[in-house]
Amino acid sequence: MNIAKDSVVQFHYTLTEGDAELESTIGADPMAYLHGHGNIIAGLEQAMAGKGAGDSFSVTIEPADAYGERKEDLTQRIPLKHMQGAKKWRPGMTAWVQTDQGQRQVTVIKVGKFNADCDLNHPLAGKTLTFAVEIVAVREATAEEKAHGHAHGVGGHHHH
């Protein structure tokens, strides 16, 4: 079947920016998502539509259809005790912080004794990203997945 609304898609990807490889699922579990629910960035979801298992393609996505443009002055002083992901922080590291809108990734700019100045832009904001994609499997979502708005099982959510 071809990818359409309410398809659950398993895929491998390698993400690059210019010549730099940023992330890859090759050698690990593929990623899974529920198509048509905004679970992945808009540019990648659009490129997936109509493809099927076994298809490979590459797509380059501008920031507006990826993680958005970088905003200047989006810095905040955050208590170290609220930052998750490492015991000792250095500039350039990525931390997870709990906010009113859920968990978000921030980038450490400067570390003090009790607080760190962090950049709240998504680490991939402002970047033009290229995804090399290999579609592993496509299936119809279960009623439960449709109700939850995300994929379950390998590469999907594991919250049950």
Total binding residues toward Zn ion, as defined by CB under 5 A: 2
Q: Judged by CB, which is closer to Zn ion: 52, or 149?
A: 149
79 token code pair: 């208590």
When the beta carbons of 18 and 149 are compared against Zn ion, the nearer one is 149
Distances (CA, A) of 49 to 5, 129, 138: 8, 18, 11
**With binding defined as CB under 5 A, does residue 146 bind Zn ion?**
no
Q: Minimal distance in Å, beta carbon 33 to Zn ion?
A: 12
| Binding-site member from 37, 70, 139, 148 for Zn ion (CB under 5 A) | 148
**Binding window for Zn ion (CB under 5 A); candidates: 64-72, 83-91, 129-137, 148-156:** 148-156
Residues that bind Zn ion (CB under 5 A): 148, 157
